[in-house]
Structure formats: C-alpha cells, structure tokens
Amino acid sequence: MPTTRLTAQSVARLPPPEVGQTDYFDASFPAFGLRVTAKGVRTFILLTRINGKKARLTIGRAQTRKDGPGVSLADARRQAGEWQDQVACGRDPREEQRAAKAAAEQAQQPDPDTWDQVVERFIRQYAKPRNRSWREAERVLGKDVTPRWRGRPIREISKREVVDLVDALVEAGKPALANRVLQHIKRVMSWCVEKDILEDSPARTVKAPAKLEARDRVLTDDEIRLFWSAADRMGFPWSVPLKVLLLTGQRRSEVAEMEWSELSDLDGETPTWTIPARRAKNGVEHGVPLSPHAADLLRSVPRIQGCRYVFSTTGNSPVSGISKAKARLDGFITEMKGDPLEPWTLHDLRRTFASGAAALGVRVEVVERCLGHTSGTFRGIVSVYQRHEFGPEKRAALTAWANHINLLVQNTEADDTVVMLAEAR
C-alpha cells in the first residue's frame, strides 16, 4: 500500500496497475487514500476500525479534472475527517450512508398516498362495501375536489386549503354543494386517520360553510305542464325517465339505473317495478305499483339486446349525465315560458308527488309507503309490528296521481282528480 502526497494532479495521474487494484494513501492523512483499478477507475476511501474490526469506507468516485464529475480531493478529505470523528464517537458511518441512500430512493418513489390514490382506495375499500350512495361520493369528489388536489400527498393538504375549497364553492353560488363536498372530504380524511395515513384530519374542525334551510319547493300545476312539455322535447334517452320521476316519486338514481329484471307484468293488470334492497337507499326492497300511464311509457322504451338497463345509450351501463339533461330541460322550459322557473331540482319532483298525492286525499302513511320511507309514521315500535305493505292503496294513489298529471297536461280542470282517486280504489 504505497503512500504519497495526494494532490489534485496526482489523483488524476497516479498510474493504474496492470491487473487488480492499488490503494495509494495520503502522506498527511494515512487512513485516507485513493483506490485505482486496472481499468483506471479512481475512488476515494477511508480505512478505519469499527467495533474493533477493520473497515474500508467508500467515499466516492474521484474528480479527475476541474469542474468534472466526481468528488473533489478537498471534499473527500473533509468527508473522511467527519467519518473518523463519528467512529471516535461510537457511530458507524455506513449506517448513516445506508439511511441516506434509502431516503434518497424513497424521495424518488411516487408517494402512494396522494389525494387521488387515497380517494380511489377509500371508495373501493370503505365506501363501496358499506354505503349504497358510494357513487355519489365518487362523483362529487371526482368532479369538485380531485382536479384541484390530484397528485398532492394527502399529508401536505392543510386546513386552510380545505376552507379555501369550500369557500370557493359558496362564492360560486353553490352552498349546498359546498356542504356536501366538506362532508365527503371529512369522511375521506377520517378514514385516513383510522388507516394511520394521517395523524389528524385537517378537515376535522372545519365547520359547514352554509346554513341551509330544509327545502319545501313543490312544482305548481302550471310548472308541471311546462316540465312535461319540456320532457317531450328532450327525446331519447331522457324523455321517459324524466316523466317516470314525476309519475312515481322515486329517486333519480333509482330511476336512471332501472333494470328490465325489476319490471313485472308490464302488459298485465298489475304492472310493478321492484327496486331491490341493494339499490334502495334504505336497504329495503321497495315495490312501486306502476300506473297504466307509467307502464305505457316504459313499454315504449327501445330495448337494447343484451342490456339489462332500461335507460341506456351504451348497451352496458345506465344512462348518465343527468345534471346536463336537467340543464337542457331548464333551457326548454325557459324557451316556452319566456323566463326560467324559480330554482328547482329533480328531487323536488319527489316532494311534488308527495304534496300532490296528499292533496288528492291519499293518507300520509300511503304516501310514505309510495316513497319507500321507513321513517316518519313507520319509525319506532310501528316499524316492528306494522307489516302491511299497502299494495292496493299504493296502486290506487299512484294511478290517481298519474290521472291528475294526465288531466293537467291536457289542460283539463284538475278538480275531478279526487274522483279519480275514488275510482282507482
């Protein structure tokens, strides 16, 4: 092991051996040296003892020209000195090297806990198996949150960013959406706390940005006429499902995802739509007697071979884009009326049915059964002992409501609809 005075020039010029390698040690720092291989590879090294055993530590490839790649002689000497000090203090520089290397490799790896990746796992592992409305959570998060936070490590998302996001929705005139978005963000981040992805949820103490009053919007008779005429103008695939929403009072997702297997006796005396428990919001199978008018509409829908969905444009999935369809519907209504309706939602059709049925003399418990409610008059002990399904009563109520709509659409006085209910019974 030759000893020499290492300089920048000698580091570049020391001769390589014909075979193997030669270690040249610095005359002024004997434990520090330069290893030169037969192929001319030059590496700075440090010989020392760790835990009583000889150890050779590699500092790095040597720089052989000014501003060239590699470690300079001055930097290598400094590193060797620092490592000697660490060894003297009982520390192993190799462990710190390995830790630094692992940290560098980890920094180069994509973070598996970015917002969009976490949301995908949340929907798949938690929401989908437990919550029948998981598609709504997926839709809201995918449309209103993920585009803003895509690729962001969820640990970096601050409370301020959550507040800014929901406040922006309020300022855009969407307070109800802001509340829903915050609710979904809180659920995702609480799940992350449970999974030890986060120590605490930055959304935990964020309050709902808007105080909303319970909706009581009900379409008037004139508005129902406009709605029906606009639905006629919608054409395929939206004309029929929009009308079925009004005629049955069911939820929009239940109507949009209706399957042919759920329909029975469409050509008979008792046409019925049975919403299975897996699709019902309350997890209870719900039978919806179809009025003759509703059955006629469903029979008119062209059936796509091999497609299980009643309303579909692809043949393998239910119709989608209901928000855009609602915007088109509003456009037709404005065109016919001259100005837009007072703000309303498709869910208001459900309330319109309930209010209209009550006005026709339908008992409240029958209305609730038509809507598939298990609360209200059927909560508590009543839900245990009340097993009557109200099948005939529901059919009479839905038929009377359909007759009422038919009279409205024909611009006929609707006072006779109470008689229609009596006849339906």
Is the peptide bond between 237 and the residue preceding it cis, with omega within 30 degrees of 0?
yes
Cα distance between residue 200 and residue 410, in whole Å: 60
Q: How does residue 112 score in pLDDT terms, banded at 50, 70 and 90?
A: confident
CA pseudo-torsion sign 364, 367, 369, 374: negative
Query: Burial, 385: exposed, middle or buried (Cβ in 10 Å; 0-12, 13-18, 19+)?
Result: exposed
Looking at residue 414, what DSSP letter applies?
G
Pairing of strands 21-26, 53-61: unpaired
The whole-number pLDDT of residue 425 equals 38
Q: Indicate the CATH number for domain 3-108.
A: 3.30.160.390
Count H helices and E strands in the chain, helices first. 19, 8
CB 405 within 8 A of CB 246: yes
CB 54 within 8 A of CB 60: no
Amino acid at the residue 390: F
DSSP-assigned letters across all residues of 218-269: ---HHHHHHHHHHHHHH-TTTHHHHHHHHHH---HHHHHT-BGGGEE-TTSS
* Choices 1.10.10, 3.30.60, 1.10.150, 1.10.260: CATH for 115-194: 1.10.150
Q: What is the pLDDT of residues 341-378, one digit of tens each?
A: 998 999 999 999 999 999 999 999 999 999 998 654 44
Range 10-19 average pLDDT: 93
The whole-number pLDDT of residue 279 equals 86
Shortest CA distance to 11 belongs to which of 27, 33, 31? 33
Q: Give the domain ranges of the chain.
A: 3-108, 115-194, 221-424
CB 246 within 8 A of CB 349: yes
What are the backbone dihedrals phi and psi of residue 6, each rounded to the nearest 5 degrees, phi first? -80, 125
Q: What is the pLDDT of residues 145-179, one digit of tens each?
A: 999 999 999 999 999 999 999 999 999 988 989 99
Compute how many other C-beta atoms are within 10 angstroms of the C-beta atom of residue 163.
Answer: 16
Compute how many other C-beta atoms are within 10 angstroms of the C-beta atom of residue 215.
Answer: 13
Architecture of domain 221-424: Orthogonal Bundle (1.10)
Amino acid at the residue 225: R
